[in-house]
Structure 1
């Protein structure tokens, strides 16, 4: 979708040492020396425990199914018999379903004692038995009993051995910080100490506490709680969470502090994190689905990050496939456009611009140049308006048809953008009335909780182009939030299919 701003090329900054964002309300926040030191200890790569358990479930099911196929072929069975293959596939799915229902893919089980492996034996044995009953229910069975017995015994032996090795590796990774959920505690004092002690007592605890943030002074909120330092204020927490990967914020304020809780959530909800409220001392009781647990320690689910674990993988796979296909199909149009831009006016073909990306970090996006090179606005403070003299002849056409955005397909492959998401705005973008977007929309940076996209829910509903009325930005923001809160692959596909139709409405694109 066409954007109202362009700027001169900029280099892409390192993620951990980004310059301050001029229109960010936290622009003057400086982290103290202790917080900066903590960031250096959080620089290592790690994998989410939930993701790791999911990958193990997928791998275990694949191995069990392949062992069944190998046993069947080694017994001289014909590979043309589809029924045994289908039966073993269904049996594998049933077996994995039984193991999942028995919580054998929970992290605490996977890294626990081998004495619990009887659950795995029962689950896989039951699955193999169901396959046998299914096949022998037919008058002329296509698979003898020996392959089924071999499948059950060998499959169980391989999986149990693999689980023993995996449990050892899990404990090693946990000790070395390669597998953890990173959490920050919001609010210090006695409540924070009680929470920390409770977490330490949980045998399956995978949470690494990175520090404590609190606006209160040292008298009311000590600088050290249960061995963990207070790293700064809530405003500094927002900056801290944008410089490193944090998974969860745990708020330890009591439910009775309603005013302070609401004020905190208003500041923190813009971050792409899970926000939980410590419930170990809460007098009020909620429905079971309101809670999540670390061992037996209850937490109240306040805000979930929009995309996590498998959703992130699914969306990234969709982006790569869609962008690759689009580049192949649209390459003739991009080639013709590149030649036209070069012949129409002097200057580079590709235009580079700083935009706000995921978690408010800066990314550099690519566009076909649509303005006269000498008239470009280096800081993108002057938006493009109707009959703008800076727009070239070719630029007017490619902006109206959004062809100028096609190079952003390479941004998608690079990982800066998604195919679908809130449109990235220029870092210094302003409305026609010279207002910053944060002045127009309260909580504006909440739209950066997911990667920005080439097209989006707001764009297919006509909210694109010049921001000459604050209402237009408000509506765009509302549609972006709807997309973030209701994301699914089906919604992404629908938006992608509707984008060509939405381009027919060009009243605001110039």
Structure 2
């Protein structure tokens, strides 16, 4: 919304009103202090400004801004709960305050969703002023760029393209030299240049024209077919560097959020589940078979570093425990072990690994050292999964690729899902994976043996 100067102020005002109304209705004691009112409103302004929560880019959407949402809710949540701890005389129950804050987050999220829906509808109906755009040069990125322009969600009017290779396409406007006059005659506002099809001189000439005529020029780099869905361009001083394997977890705040989540979740499991389950399993195991309570195995983790992975022992002692995966009707598995493996209870001691920082609740499953050495030679991109901490569960596991590797496609698809998880990580994705992991364990899985 190029000329919508009031969008950000109105959004800010609506957010402030929402916060104040909810707090006034649900925590009225808050409004007995003028300092508290200033505190809530001023901190909202500071936090949103610090993380650039109100974007103005035409390409911004709800999904592109989701990270900022979680960053905002995390930081402002600390502000919110701190106020009741140190600034308020009235003591509300933590559970009640949590519900109040969740209501604030829900209302702000709903408003944001409604805002982007209304904006996209406004644009697709042709009610907003469209930005007239042309493309200079034709390569494989032209079709992708056209699809974006034609959606109508971004408010662009695609005029056509110029290229020195003639074409019968109705959107072909002429040779590159013809574009200079066309840009002025048709009031073109943005010019997209395919670097792969233009010479240095042609790009410099287009830059000169744009800089002297209030036209925006944008360069689409020569991708050499190397770009991926996870790429990003980073600036090292004035040098642009293409990162082909970018991940949300490369951001410091994302690592902090994931680690805090891991610590809280693993602590709760250890305190409320393992504390009573461990002695119970120990008693049953003593009645079932000889051997230790825990099975400890060296596995590869983040950056291919090794660590000792803990499990409840589910097999009898054997020489193949570090080389052979469990298979269907495996004679090594004990009677109790079959129950533990079927319900995934045998994996629960790995929450100790999570608390120690060696694993995460969600991530690629760690493999035996021997299998890592085997798969890194036979499976393309296998080692990419080692950029992350291994997890107790993962995206591949809930998609059916857990347990024994029966065919090459099993490990290939497992790696594919692990890489997708790395590239698309979010806290919602982690929670979703945990939910389906628990649901699958309750229902029972065919490959849980």
Query: TM-score, normalization: structure 2?
Result: 0.50
- Which residue in 2 is equivalent to 1:509? 448
Shift of 1:96: 5.3
User: Are residue 422 (structure 1) and residue 364 (structure 2) matched?
Assistant: yes
Shift of 1:345: 1.5
Counterpart among 368, 379, 382 of residue 441 in structure 1 = 379
Shift of 1:439: 4.3
Shift of 1:506: 2.3
1:96-495 alignment, distance < 5 Å: 97-98=48-49, 285-286=219-220, 291-308=233-250, 309-331=252-274, 332-373=276-317, 375-377=318-320, 380-429=322-371, 436-495=374-433
Secondary structure of the 1:307 match is helix
Secondary structure of the 2:298 match is strand
Count how many residue pairs are aligned between Structure 1 and Structure 2. 246
- 2:247 touches 2:423 (CA, 8 Å); kept in 1? no
Rounded Cα–Cα distance in structure 1 between residues aligned with 2:316 and 2:280 = 19
| Structure with greater proportional helix content | 2
Secondary structure of the 2:371 match is coil
- 1:305 touches 1:449 (CA, 8 Å); kept in 2? no
- 2:361 touches 2:393 (CA, 8 Å); kept in 1? yes
Rounded Cα–Cα distance in structure 2 between residues aligned with 1:290 and 1:419 = 27
Secondary structure of the 1:384 match is coil
- 1:456 touches 1:495 (CA, 8 Å); kept in 2? yes
Secondary structure of the 1:385 match is coil
Rounded Cα–Cα distance in structure 2 between residues aligned with 1:404 and 1:506 = 15
Rounded Cα–Cα distance in structure 2 between residues aligned with 1:387 and 1:86 = 65
For structure 2, the residue ranges without an aligned partner over 5 or more in a row are 1-28, 53-194, 197-217, 222-230
Rounded Cα–Cα distance in structure 1 between residues aligned with 2:296 and 2:447 = 23
For structure 1, the residue ranges without an aligned partner over 5 or more in a row are 1-77, 102-254, 257-283
Question: Bigger relative contact order, structure 1 or 2, given CA contacts below 8 A and separation 6+?
Answer: 1
Counterpart among 422, 434, 438 of residue 500 in structure 1 = 438
Rounded Cα–Cα distance in structure 2 between residues aligned with 1:295 and 1:436 = 41
User: Are residue 92 (structure 1) and residue 31 (structure 2) matched?
Assistant: no
Deviations 1:13-51, CA, capped at 9 Å, x for gaps? xxxxxxxxxxxxxxxxxxxxxxxxxxxxxxxxxxxxxxx
Secondary structure of the 2:310 match is strand
**Residues 306 and 393 of structure 1: CA distance in aligned 2, closer, same or farther (over 3 Å):** same
Rounded Cα–Cα distance in structure 1 between residues aligned with 2:302 and 2:447 = 26
Secondary structure of the 2:369 match is coil
**Residues 303 and 362 of structure 1: CA distance in aligned 2, closer, same or farther (over 3 Å):** same
- Which residue in 2 is equivalent to 1:222? none
- Which residue in 2 is equivalent to 1:199? none
**Residues 458 and 300 of structure 1: CA distance in aligned 2, closer, same or farther (over 3 Å):** closer
Deviations 1:272-305, CA, capped at 9 Å, x for gaps? xxxxxxxxxxxx9447x96432343433343324
Deviations 1:112-169, CA, capped at 9 Å, x for gaps? xxxxxxxxxxxxxxxxxxxxxxxxxxxxxxxxxxxxxxxxxxxxxxxxxxxxxxxxxx
Shift of 1:410: 0.6
1:38-53 alignment, distance < 5 Å: none
Deviations 1:311-353, CA, capped at 9 Å, x for gaps? 1110000001111111223132332112212332111111110
1:57-68 alignment, distance < 5 Å: none
- 1:466 touches 1:509 (CA, 8 Å); kept in 2? no
Rounded Cα–Cα distance in structure 2 between residues aligned with 1:294 and 1:418 = 31
Q: What is the RMSD computed on CA atoms of the aligned residues?
A: 2.7
- Which residue in 2 is equivalent to 1:151? none
Shift of 1:87: 2.5
